[in-house]
Amino acid sequence: SPTDPFEQAIADAERAIAQIGTGIPSVDLNPAGAAIRRYQHQMARQANLVSHSYGNEPNRRVRIFSTRRYQ
pLDDT at 71 over 50: no
Task: State if pTM tops 0.85.
Answer: yes
What is the distance between the alpha carbons of residues 8 and 24, in angstroms, rounded to a whole number?
Answer: 21
pLDDT digits (tens, 9 = 90+) for 21-55: 999 999 999 999 999 999 999 999 999 999 999 99
The domain spanning residue 48 has which CATH number?
3.30.1370.50
Task: Select the more confidently predicted residue: 1 or 28.
Answer: 28
* Dihedral, 10, 13, 18, 23 alpha carbons, nearest 10: 180
Domain count, the chain: 1
- Residue 41's domain comprises 5-70
Where do the H-state alpha helices sit in 1-71? 5-21, 34-46
